[in-house]
Structure formats: structure tokens, C-alpha cells
Amino acid sequence: MTLQNAEEDLASESLPLSGCTVVDFTRILSGPYATMLLADLGADVIKVERPGEGDDTRGWGPPFWRGTSSYFAAVNRGKRSIAVDLSSDAGQRVVREVIAGADIVVENFRPGVTGRLGISYDDVAESNPGLIYASINGFGSFGPRAQEAGTEVIIEAESGLMAMMGVPDGPPVRFGVAMVDIATGMSLVNGVLAAMLQRVRTGRGRAIEFPLYSTAISVLATVIASASVAPEMTQARFGSGHPSIVPYSAFEARDGWVVLGAVNEGMWGRLCAGLDLEPLADDERCATNEARVGNRAFVEQAVADAVAALDVSEITRRLGERGVLVAPVKTASEAIEDPQVAALGLIDQEDGVKFARTPLAQFNDARLSRAPALGEHSSEILTASGIATERMNELLADGVVQQAGPLAEDRPANPLDRAAHANT
């Protein structure tokens, strides 16, 4: 062990979840994002994948990086991978042995699948009563829609979220990123940490469940309340605007776009001064927020005309100096060049590829290791689970478990070309 490795091991012992093992059966985004958050807290995350294919997102590209998709690489850092054939009895026995030494299981199979695989909470809790077993699914594990597939776009459509997205008189649109998945992953981490505190008091673990549908309905709290009072308002699409605040939207300047807003009457007056719209400050059609909402088209057109005559830099300077909400609309590539990103340490880099750190990275000074190759850590995970070398060799020879070499810079870009790199 090098001095650097020894220092990193010592630092990792102080992390909140140091010594905790997570067995991660998830794929796509919500589960992998959640388990990466747990890795940032110091947990040892063992990602269980299908031999030959692995997580579906390994092939979601281009772009690809080091033989796997950049999508997969972004949300599976800090984990170890074991490739196991869960359709076989031998594979199911292997993962039960791995689970026996774990603190947390996270899975996002469709309800009922873990039972068929022999790895449901009931199957594994008797031998590991302290286990916290967290499940993600589409619509929940019970009720009339439990067996329906529930991906991000389906949940956005079914929950009412998509109906809100888009411009007036235009089609509904999905979020640019899978925000329901991300929010569900964050909720799962909160639930896992709460269950761990409960386990301290009771000595027992528990099963907990996080349907994407529940997340989507819950984040609509203000919309649902408003719909109870004024249903007609929640049926409209406001583009980048807000149903209850005007102005509060994106407007096109001479050389780009800005967002600006006035959330109270004082700010409205300062906005008018900054955009040379002083006569509107006391105009009865827009003197109060209620009046501005009622005269949305008039107010937004007046602001749009003023903004269109100015450059983005001039608008942000004028309004920023007056304490008005304003910002340029940036691309993600532009945003990460902001010096504040560097000040907060929000980006890791590896070989020129930039990875966003999670909000829980503040607990962890070390950069998370890169996402693993499919089955990269199979042998070491089996050994740590007490599986003898002879049996391990049989599992590898029979194809129940796949072992692959680590990612390398000179590996082919095609993520499906894994046979050449298998080390079984």
C-alpha cells in the first residue's frame, strides 16, 4: 500500500457511512444516482449487473468514454461492479451470500421480480435482520397500477408534470433532465438514513419503498393546492413563466436570453426603473402582482419590448445593481466555467472529462473513483463474501459470474464489445 492510499483509507474512516456495504441492483438513473450519493457518504457500493450487458445505460450513447457511455460514467462513480446471472440458481445463491454481509440493499426491479429471484426482503431479512431494503419502482408495489412500467417520461405524463411543461398553445414537453428520477434518488437516501437511525434504536432494519409516481405527485404540492381553488389555472402552460408571479420568465435580448422577475411591489418598481419602464410602475394594470397576473400578456409584452432593445450584459448590470432578480440563460458548458463552480468544487475531471459532484460530496474530500467496468470487481467481491477460490473459479467458468479487466484508455469505444475484454 502506498502512502497516498494509506492516507485515503484513513480519511475514508471518518465518512458518515464508512464501513457500510450497499448491494445495488439498480440501473438507469434514479437508483444509480441514489447509490452514488451513498458512495459520497463513504459507503462501499457493490453494483450487481447482468453478465455481457450490465446496466442498460452502458450503451446509451454516443458519446462514449473509455468503452462505456458518458451517461453511465456520470452516475456510477465510486462503485464496484460484480456481474452475476440472476436467472440461475447459482447466481441467486451468490447474491444472497453477498447480501448476508450488507447493511443496505437498493433495487428497482418491477414489483414481484425480487421474489422470483429469491432476493426479496422476506427472502433475505431472516438471515440479516438489520438489513435496510430500499426499493424504487414506477407506481408502487400494490394498488391497481403496481405492475405497470413507470419510467421517467411515463410518470411525467401520468402525474400532471408534463402537462405543465411547454409554451402556451404548444405541445407538452418532458424535462430536459430526468428530475423525477433525481428527486426519487434523493428521497431514497433520506429514507435510508432515517431507517439507519431507527435501526440504532431498535436493532432491526426494514423495507422502504420509493415509487417515482409518489415523488412526482408530491412535488406538485403547490399545484395540487392551487388546482383545488382554481382548476383552470393549472391546465395552462406558462413556458418559463410562473402561474402566480408576473413578470417571472425568460425574455430574449439582442444577443441572447435572460430570466428576470419581480416577486414584490418594490422589486417591480426597481425593474421598471432599470428597463426605462417607469410609467408602468404605478399603472393600475400592473401596480400589484395580482393585477400583473391578471394582465399577463400586457405586462410581459412591455417587458419583452424593453429587453429586446438591450444586450444581456446591459440588462444584468442594470437590474443586478437595483437588486432585481436577473440572470443570463446559459448552456451547461457555459455554466460550469463560472468561477463560483470552481470555488464550490462542483466539478471533478478525469482525462479531460468533467463530472458533476453530488450535493453530498461536501462530506468527502476525495474524488469518487471512476465508474467500474462490467464485472471489474467480481473476484474480489466474491472473496470478501467468503466464497472459496475453487467455487469462485467454477462460477466464472460456468458463466454464472463474469470478471472483466479494468477500464483502459485504449479500450474500444463500442460499449457492447466486451467479449474481447472478458477475463473469465
The DSSP bridge pattern shows strands 68-69 and 64-65 to be: antiparallel
SS3 for 75? helix
DSSP at 248: E
DSSP 381-416: HHHHTT--HHHHHHHHHTTSEE-BPPP-TTS-S-TT
Strands (E), 281-346: 325-328
Beta bridge partners of 72: none
Instruction: Tell me the β-bridge partners of 137.
Output: 211
If one counts every other C-beta atom within 10 angstroms of the C-beta of residue 311, the result is 14
Sign of CA dihedral 377, 380, 386, 388: positive
Residue 413 to residue 64: CA distance in whole angstroms: 6
Query: Is 181 an active-site residue?
Result: yes
Please state the length of the chain: 424
Of the residues 24, 44, 85, 181, only one is catalytic, namely: 181
C-alpha 316/C-alpha 303 separation (Å) is 14
User: What is the 8-class DSSP label of residue 392?
Assistant: H
* Lookup result for grid cell 463500442: 414
**What is the bridge-based pairing of β-strands 21-24 and 104-107?**
parallel
What positions carry a catalytic annotation? 181
